[in-house]
Structures are given as structure tokens and as C-alpha cells.
Amino acid sequence: MFELHKTADSTKARLGTLTTDHGKIETPIFMPVGTLGTVKAVKQDELLEKVKAQIILGNTYHLYLRPGCDIIESAGGLHSFIEWDQPILTDSGGYQIFSLSDNRELSEEGAEFQSHIDGSKHMFTPENVVDIQRTLGSDIMMILDECPPYPCSYEYSKESMELTHRWEKRGRDAFLNTEPKYGHQQFQFGIVQGGTFEDLRIESAKYITDLDFEGIAIGGLSVGEPTDLMYEMTDLNTDYLPEEKPRYLMGVGKPANLLHAIARGVDMFDCVLPTRNARNGQIFTQNGYINIRNAKWKNHHKPLDPNFPTDICSKYKMSYIHHLFRNNELLGLQLSSLHNLTFYLWLMEEVKERIAEDTFHDWYKEKAEILDTKI
């Protein structure tokens, strides 16, 4: 399913192709997040034609609660329900149980939780999140894990990692003993944990590698730890992961974070940041990011960057976009969301070109610094 084409000389950056029954994904790749089966404020045809998204995410926790598995199953699966004929990855819901739900209770069996919507009680186990994702029919499903907070003691991190490992073994077995429902193949990715402790990260990488998932995610990062520590743990993890499997750094991040993580051997990313921040007026550009709500744009009657092919950069005056945001007009959210995702996918194309040309090493640090600067 994954073909590694190249590893860069002076960094660990890689070029690869991930092949699913819904299409190929050229890595490194960013995956727009469509929590409830919609990437907020962006239409499916725009995702395909303008953003050039190759794969999007759905959230198991959210979709399980709303609209529910019965609806999605009777609609013919998630691809059919949302009319997206390209690859979909679904997370396991583990992260949402810990970040959103009330009164969650962890046991060896799984995680019991109350819905954040109506307080109803539910149980996720390593086995039933496989079943749920069989029903969703995602091309890539994630294993159930526990994602501990940061900071976190060594002892808790170790115990949590060990529970996650037992869950991952059970989840892998459940996956191998069940079949897809809609005629297309599904893959399962494991998740490395271990907090911010080197020995645990190494132990986890080895354990998860042995379970022979189709791909491996680095979990438990981007949860509040310093950025350098996130890079350090990522770097350590990829040293212990097999070359021939795709690596996915979950929940990351800013454009600069992506470049640094790619240099450390990561192939796949997802994050709500480009769309969530877009809705707050943060716009990414080739020369840094701006806040369009800032008064400095009120009288700026030129497009932001005529050389970047989105409506927000090359068509509309900054003053107009500023006006839309100051008046809470939906068009502002639509344009900024579409723009930021287009920017993220464009950045991945730039990265691929530079890895192919062996210029990534000389380029990425300076570029990351520029992209991380507020204009």
C-alpha cells in the first residue's frame, strides 16, 4: 500500500505514495479535517478542485454520536453519505473522549464516557471502534489509544502506554478478524505513545512496529509540550519506525511545524488549525501570516498576494475581507477556510518538489521561520 520513493540526503524527509481503493496519496501530505463529515465552510468540489485535497479526515467519536452509525450504514458508508469519492481517514475517537466528553472512565476493557451533547452513556473498546470504523468505511482507520495530557509523570505515562499497547494488540486482532463492508479495502494505523520520555517512546515505537499495522501514527504530541520537545520526540520515534510504513504525526500543526516534522521523517499530518484559525481571521501566506481583523487592513485596497492563486490572495481587496470579518459575514469564513487549506496543500507540493530536487535541506528552516512570522 505504501511505496517509498526517496529519502532525502541531509534530512529524514521522504517522498512516497500511499495507495487506497479511493485513490493515491502522494506524501508528504496534509489532510484537512472534516469532523462531522464536512470540512467546515468548504464544499466538497472546492476541496477537490481548489484545495487539491488528496484525503480528508472524519472523527469517529463525532460521527458515532451524530448522525450515528445506523444512518451512515444505511447511506452506504461515509464516502457515500458525504459524497466524497476520495480517500478518508477516521481517527479512533480516543482523543475526543479525553478532550470533549464528561465523566469518562478508563478500564482495561475500554473507555466509558458520556456524550458531550446529551449526556448519554457510551463505551468505546479497541474492538468496537474497529467495528464502528468498518461501518464508517474509511480507507484508513485508527486504533483506540489513550492520549495522556502534558505534563504527565513518568509513572502515568508508562502505565498509560502499556494500556494503549494492550488495546492496540486487541484492536489489531479485531481488525484482522473482520471484513470491510462496502467492497473497498481498509487499512489500520497503530499509534505510538510514551509521553515525553525517551525510553518509553522507543519502547512504544518498537512494540507498535511489531504489530505490523499498515501505517504508524505518532500520538500524544502537540498537546501542550514545548515545540522543540515535540520535534525531539518525533525525531526519536522515526528512528525506530520501519522505513516501508507511512508515518503520521497526529494533530500537527502550523506550517512551520509541518516543515520541521517532514525533515524528521514524517509523511502525513492532520490539524484543525488551518480551518479553525481561518474562522478567527488568521490567513497564511508565502511571506508569513496575518490577522485580517487587524485595523491595519481596513484601508488596504489591494489583494494580499497577486501571485497566490486563491480568491483571498489574488482577487479581493484586503479591506473587503477585513469588512467581511468585522461584520461576521459568512463569506469571510468561506474564503479564509478555502484559502488556508489551499495554502497547506500548496506547501506540501513545494516540499515534494524540493525533496525531489534535493534542495529541501537548504530551504526548510528559513522557510519555516518566514511562515511563522506575523506580517
CB of 334 to its own copies, least distance (A): 6
Catalytic residues: 91, 270
Residues contacting 21, CB < 8 A, separation 6+: 139, 184, 185
Q: Quick one: cell of 324?
A: 467581511
User: Which cell numbers hold the place of 237?
Assistant: 520515534
Q: Is 83 in the site for its own copies (CB under 8 A)?
A: yes
Give the nearer residue to its own copies in terms of CB position, either 70 or 357.
70
* Shortest Å, Cβ 48 to its own copies: 13
Is residue 93 a known part of a binding site?
yes
Cβ proximity to its own copies, 59 vs 193, nearer residue: 59
CA distance 14 to 265: 6
Binding range to its own copies, per CB under 8 A, among 165-173, 219-227, 330-338, 353-361? 330-338
Q: Helix, strand or coil for residue 105? A: strand
**Which of 40, 116, 184, 293 is close enough to bind its own copies by CB under 8 A?**
40
- Closest CB 183 distance from its own copies, rounded Å: 17
> According to CB under 8 A, which residues from 270 to 329 bind its own copies?
298-299, 301, 311, 315-317, 319-320, 323-324, 326-327, 329
User: Binding of its own copies at residue 43 (CB under 8 A)?
Assistant: yes
Residue 76 or 309 having the CB closest to its own copies: 76
Helix (H) / strand (E) containing 20: strand 14-20
Q: Which is nearer to its own copies, 4 or 75 (CB)?
A: 75
Give, rounded to a whole angstrom, the gap between the first and last alpha carbons of the chain.
41
Q: How far is the C-alpha of 288 from the C-alpha of 308, rounded, in Å? A: 13
Residue from 24, 26, 67, 372 that binds its own copies (CB under 8 A)?
67
Using the rule CB under 8 A, is 246 a contact of its own copies? no
Residue 115 within binding range of its own copies, rule CB under 8 A: no
Contact between 47 and its own copies by CB under 8 A: the answer reads: no
**How many C-beta neighbours within 10 Å does residue 199 have?**
11
Tell me if 190 contacts its own copies by CB under 8 A. Answer: no
Q: Give start and end residues of each alpha helix (H) in 249-329.
A: 255-263, 273-279, 318-326
Is there binding between residue 112 and its own copies (CB under 8 A)?
no
**Minimal distance in Å, beta carbon 1 to its own copies?**
29
Task: Cell 497577486: give the residue.
Answer: 306
Structure-block grid coordinates of residue 318: 484586503
Beta bridge partners of 25: 18
Cis peptide before 309 (omega within 30 of 0): no
Q: How far is the CB of 114 from its own copies (least distance, A)?
A: 19
H helix runs in the chain, sequence order: 44-46, 60-65, 69-74, 78-82, 94-99, 126-136, 154-176, 198-210, 227-239, 255-263, 273-279, 318-326, 330-356, 360-371
CB of 243 to its own copies, least distance (A): 39
Cβ closer to its own copies: 71 or 356? 71
Q: Is 193 annotated as a binding residue?
A: yes
| Residue 253, SS3 per DSSP | coil
User: What letter does residue 195 receive in the DSSP assignment?
Assistant: T
Q: Residue 258's closest CA among 34, 41, 78, 28?
A: 28
Q: Is 145 labeled as ligand-binding?
A: yes
Q: Which is nearer to its own copies, 242 or 309 (CB)?
A: 309
Distance CA 236, CA 366 (A): 23
Binds its own copies (CB under 8 A): choice among 33, 42, 88, 130? 42
Annotated binding site: 91-95, 145, 193, 220
Annotated binding site for substrate: 91-95, 145, 193, 220
Binding site for its own copies (CB under 8 A): 36-38, 40-43, 45, 66-67, 71, 74-76, 80-83, 298-299, 301, 311, 315-317, 319-320, 323-324, 326-327, 329-331, 333-335
